[in-house]
Amino acid sequence: MTLPIPRSYKPMEARLVDELPTGKSWQYEPKWDGFRCLAFRDGDKVDLMSKAGKPLGRYFPDVVAMLKTLRHKRFVLDGEIIVTADGAIDFDQLLQRIHPAKSRVEMLSSTYPATFIAFDLLVDARGKSLATAPLGERREAIETFMKTAAPKGARIRLSPATTSMATVKKWFRSVGGGLDGVIAKRLDLPYQSGNRDGMQKMKHQRTAECVVGGFRYASKGRVVGSLLLGLYDEGGLLHHVGFTSNIPAEEKKPLTAKLEKLVKAPGFTGQAPGGPSRWSTERSSEWQPLAPKLVVEVKYDHFSGGRFRHGTSFLRWRPDKSPRQCTIAQLEQEGRSAMKLLR
């Protein structure tokens, strides 16, 4: 390639913080729930590179084709690849793209086409590197670039940005749980390739109250290892939606005794925990059903496809909550999509 930035160029990364920095030197952007990507175009050649330096083009032929339709023939964009379903960002559908079969990738590209959310311009349409320019100048450059780059209907969008904390708060009010978090970037710094000195991220904390519908013993010793979480649907069925395992060590023995007194089938009346898999042992796949008496509050990252995407973090017991109040409906706010911020 004749671009001034090589494909091995590392994207800038973010330091996780509990609170966003404030002041005139910071710019704020929504945190997008997708795959970070540097997009390179040099004439008819387009390359998509992941944060880990791996090529992504074979998994996103629709994004490659879309970038070839842009009016500018040379550029390097920093952004995020996302996939939407029913108007909301769907990370599970995005993960489906990482598949060895070309035919399946093409089918998914047609059924759930990806969108490129651009938030930084590292090489402009003239082929000039902007990596040494401060973010304030790069933001002006990408706004100008995007005004003229995309033909109508192209699945590329410019991520909003602001220097106002009031606008950030408005984002949270507008889309609630649909916002993955907020990114803060130093306006006065050049592009910080491969380090976390110029960018911070604050993730949106989400909590839910769940019924404990079962538990698994720890792999060693007959004490509780994880709690199996459930939520009721509109029909009154209790569905298994995930687990939490960060139970304080000093609580495990008395908690085990309490749980064993509540063992009662079926535990879950809807979707139940899965059985053995190639990763599990016979012991780890076994679970004990419980009468739906206990309610726990947990912190989670994402809820999609009827499940918490990752393990949750135990926060506290909620004896004040009726198990029947623990419904899937409490998570409906996450269905509000951050895509609304692009309109």
What residues are annotated to the active site? Answer: 31
39 in Cβ contact with 80 (< 8 Å): no
d(CA 266, CA 285): 16
- 3-state SS string over the chain? CCCCCCCCCCCCCCEECCCCCCCCCEEEEECCCCEEEEEEEECCEEEEEECCCCECHHHCHHHHHHHHCCCCCEEEEEEEEEEEECCEECHHHHHHCCCCCHHHHHHHHHHCCEEEEEEEEEECCCCCECCCCCHHHHHHHHHHHHHHHCCCCCCEEECCCECCHHHHHHHHHHHHHHCCEEEEEECCCCCCCCCCCCEEEEECCEEEEEEEEEEEECCCCCCEEEEEEEEECCCCCEEEEEEECCCCHHHHHHHHHHHHCCECCCCCCCCCCCCCCCCCCHHHHCCEEECCCCEEEEEECCEECCEECCCEEEEEECCCCCHHHCEHHHHHHHHCCHHHHHC
Residue 203, beta-bridge partner list? 181
Q: How many CA atoms lie within 13 A of 193 on its CB side?
A: 14
Nearest to 287 by CA among 327, 243, 317, 249: 243
User: What angle, rounded to 10 degrees, do the helices at 102-111 and 61-68 form?
Assistant: 60
Token pair 């973090």 is found at 313
